[in-house]
Each structure stands twice: as C-alpha cells, then as structure tokens.
Structure 1
Amino acid sequence: MTENLSLAPGRHRVAVAGASGRMGRMLIEAIHNSDDCVLAGALDVPGSPALGIDATAFLGSNSGVVITSDLQLGLAEAQVLIDFTRPEGTLAHLAACQALGVKLVIGTTGFSDEQKQALAEGAKQVAVMLAPNMSVGVNVTLKLLEMAARALSTGYDIEIIEAHHRHKVDAPSGTALKMGEVIADALGRDLAECAVYERYGHTGARDPSSIGFATVRGGDIVGDHTVLFAGTGERIEITHKSSSRETYAQGSLRAVRFLADKPQGMFDMFDVLGLR
C-alpha cells in the first residue's frame, strides 16, 4: 500500500488512466488538492516515457504512486478508476475493473453503439458513470436545452456548433452529440434519423425536422458549444464555453463521490447532479 493510502483512511481511493496526458495530469492535480480523495493508481499505455515515474512528479511532489501499464498493479488499491482515454482502452480497463470490483467514471468519447452496449453490460457488475462531458456547467446547459426544445418545438430550426483543439480525434464532439440526443428526445425524434453532419454543394432547402451539426478544429480551444434555435424574426442561442479542463476534473470527482455507495449500475451526470 502506498504512503498516501495508509495515511488517508476513509478517503476515496482513485486511479487515473492516461496519467501522463493533459486530462490525466489535470485529474491527478485535482485529486492531489482534494480533501476527500487520494491517488491510488496511475495508468498509461505500454511504451509511454512516463512509465516508472511518480505520478505527481510534475507537481514537484512525491505521491508514492508510480505510473504503470500493468492494469492489475495500477488498480490493486483503487476503489474507482477515472478514464478519459480512447474507446478501445476504456473497454480494456472495464474488463480489468470488473475482475477487481473497481468502479468506473468514464469521460471517454467516440464509442460505437456496440461499445456502448458493452459498457452497459459491464455496469451490471460494477458501477459506471458515463458522460461525454463532466462539466457541471455543460450538464446544466443540457437541462436548459431540454426545456428550450420542448418550448420551441415548432417553427425553429436547430443547429449545433462545436469547436475544439486541433488534437481532438472524433467529430462531432461527444458533448455536441449528447446535446443533439437531449434535444431529439425532448422533441420525440430519433437523432440517428434527423441528424445532418455534412453539407456541401446543392443541398436543397433545409428539412425543418433535422438537427444540424457544424464542427471546428483548431489551436488550443478547450471546448465551445452553441445550440442555435433559429425562428422567424428571432434567434435563441444557448452557449457553453470551457476555458480550462479543471471543470472536467472537478466534475469527475463529484462523480467519484456519487458512486461511493453504488455497487453497480449505469449512471450519468444528470444522476450525479440531481437533474432528473
């Protein structure tokens, strides 16, 4: 057992996947600064130059937790794993967590329908909190969008515009897709049938039942999302802008606390924040 764990009884023991990445480091820093959480494990991919290094070395601190690619070792002392990696990696982590009884907070995006089903099956054994965006503000925005969609169900065209940094590999963002799902559900539509992801050339007039998506990638944009309800004579825009990943880290720790008494089941940030 690491020094942190032996000196911190009663605290939430948290492991972090992708420990050397930007989000991984933000999560580790948030845990390091938390009063009720302690770092219990740090995972990274085989071959990462960070392997073998203390997970909080970048903070000028010694946690006693070494970054490892060995899932058994990295999860041995953890109660919950926070995972913001890639779908394939998250599913591998899920299998290890099932075997060890470790709960999962998942911020990974880009899952296929088949992969989402695998997560749902895993949640029958361990508690899983899955959300495309852990930000408290984003999830409040989702609730506002649900209300707006119901009130503006006719006579308004709906477009979702999102912007992220140049390194993001999936599009549209998981948050944008979640916004579309929330709006479509509120309108009684199926997003798979009404979403429009590309427009080029002679597209014809806009289908009033569609939900359009536009994607921007560039620079170091953390995450901007705007939903436009365009009617005749007026436009309503609901926007959320992230200036730091810190909000995702703090939301993740709220999810860790929420899962503390949940033995199994699939949850999202609406559950965590009481927005049902």
Structure 2
Amino acid sequence: MTTPVRLLIHGASGRMGQALLRLATERPGLQVVAAVQRKVDQRVLDGVPHFASSELAAAPAFDVAIDFSLPEAFDPVLALCAERGSAFVSGTTGLSGAQREALETASARIPLLWASNFSLGVAILDELVERAAAALPGWDCDIVESHHTRKKDAPSGTALSLGAAAERNGATPRYASIRAGDIVGEHLVQFSGAGERIELVHRATNRDIFARGALHAAARLAGRPPGAYRLRDVL
C-alpha cells in the first residue's frame, strides 16, 4: 500500500484553506495532518488537528505545506519547510522582493512551487500570452483583472505573472484592476495593433479549481529534487 502524502494546510481558515481541507478528502493518496490558521477555536475538526499560527513549530511531520495566507504570515511557514526539508506549494500573493528572494534561496534546499494562480486554464493562458507577444512585436499589451472586493493586492499576482510572460517576449504590459462584488477571478490580456486587436480571456467561476490545482501540485511535488518549479512542470 502506498504511503499517503502528508499535508500541512497553512491559512486554513481562509476561503482557499477551507476548499483545500474539503477537497483533500476526495483525492486518494493525500492526508491532511495539520491545519494552521491565525487563531483556533476547536483543536480537532473532522479528524484534522488545528494549530494557531503561533504554534506552527509544533505541527507534526509533513511532506508538503500548502500555503494560501497573507504576506505577513508567509515567512514562518517557508522557513519551517526549509528547516524540515518539506516541499512547499504557495499561492500567497502580494509578496515583497525580500520574500521572493527567500523563495529563491529556499529552492536550493527544497522543492517549491509558487504560483499566482493554480488553474489549468491560466497555465495555458500564460503560454498563449508568451506566443502572442513573440508574434506581435510593437503591439500594445493591456491586462485587465477583476476580483472580489476583499482582495487587497492590485494588480493581482496572476496579472503580474501574465505580464511577465508578455515581457519575456518583448511586450510592455499596462495594467488595470477592478474590485467588484464576489468575482472569483477574471483576466483579460489584450494585444492591439493598427485596426485590430486580440483578446485572451480566462474566467474562473468556482474557487475549487484553484484548490484542486494546488492539491495536484502538492501530490506531484512531494519527493522531487530541490528547485523552483512552475505549475506547467507538474501538470
């Protein structure tokens, strides 16, 4: 019998954390051994031990941490993974330059995957943006992202990642952000030339797609050599 991949869910009280806890039970080969959140009201919920953020160091052994939290909670969980040699999957956005450098440093010790978006569709969109930018030199590139009113960072991490894909092939993206209602996530990448334009769009209507993508990444990342992986590397 194959030993299950042991997961620590960091940011367990958030929307993504709750989706991860719910959907992990549906995927064979994964076992949530700890859920970490800012404060704890109930120590064990649905068979999963819960820990406050201040108790992170007391979490049991785990193979992969999945982190969907806030930048101010990011550093301790990355440091714990590096200390224990556990893989790290993160979708926390709004990271500082120093935190991105910490990711790069940690990738020499552990396998890690940071992505602004864990949907398969966005991984494909990223490739399409690269191709369009290469094929359309000199065209204007504009990225419009829309999210719910509670999202703090703007432009979104996904928009910035798509912009980086365009920049790799010579485009200079401009950004616009919309915060309205309960929009899960919409990203429009527009290339405009004289008399014509191309629009590449991804719309997410259910947050579960991101949780399923993160769980898939965790299952595929466990046991890999140290390094910084992309979502497309583990699809």
- RMSD (Å) for aligned C-alpha atoms: 1.6
Secondary structure of 1:168's aligned partner: coil
Contact map agreement 1:163 1:223 (CA 8 A) in 2: yes
Matched with 1:82 is: 66
Which AA in structure 2 matches 1:184?
E
Matched with 2:234 is: 272
Question: Within 5 Å, which residues of 2 pair with 1:170-249?
Answer: 170-187=153-170, 210-249=172-211
TM-score, normalised by the number of residues in structure 1: 0.80
Cα–Cα, structure 1 residues 261 and 102, in superposed 2: closer, same or farther, change >3 Å?
closer
**Match among 42, 46, 61 for residue 52 of structure 1:** 42
Which AA in structure 2 matches 1:52?
Q
Q: Does the alignment pair 1:102 with 2:86? A: yes
User: Unpaired runs of 5+ in structure 2?
Assistant: none
Cα–Cα, structure 1 residues 43 and 64, in superposed 2: closer, same or farther, change >3 Å?
closer
User: How far is 1:32 from its partner?
Assistant: 1.4
Deviations 1:15-59 (A, max 9, x none): 1011111110001111111112111110011xx2x443434xxxx
Q: For the residues of structure 2 that align with 1:153 and 1:172, how far apart are their CA atoms?
A: 24
TM-score, normalised by the number of residues in structure 2: 0.94
Q: Does the alignment pair 1:118 with 2:102? A: yes
Matched with 1:163 is: 146
Secondary structure of 1:66's aligned partner: strand
Cα–Cα, structure 1 residues 234 and 141, in superposed 2: closer, same or farther, change >3 Å?
same
Q: For the residues of structure 1 that align with 2:42 and 2:85, how far apart are their CA atoms?
A: 25
Q: For the residues of structure 2 that align with 1:259 and 1:265, how far apart are their CA atoms?
A: 10
Secondary structure of 2:37's aligned partner: coil
Q: For the residues of structure 2 that align with 1:136 and 1:218, how far apart are their CA atoms?
A: 24
**Match among 86, 109, 127 for residue 143 of structure 1:** 127
Q: For the residues of structure 1 that align with 2:94 and 2:68, how far apart are their CA atoms?
A: 11
Segment of structure 1 superposing worse, 27-36 or 157-166: 27-36
User: How far is 1:9 from its partner?
Assistant: 5.5
Segment of structure 1 superposing worse, 244-253 or 173-182: 244-253
Q: As a proportion of its length, which structure holds more strand? A: 2
Contact map agreement 2:33 2:48 (CA 8 A) in 1: no
Contact map agreement 1:44 1:51 (CA 8 A) in 2: no
User: Unpaired runs of 5+ in structure 1?
Assistant: 1-7, 56-61, 190-209
Q: For the residues of structure 1 that align with 2:106 and 2:166, how far apart are their CA atoms?
A: 27
Deviations 1:240-268 (A, max 9, x none): 00111111111111211221231311112
**Among the aligned pairs, what percent are the same residue?**
37
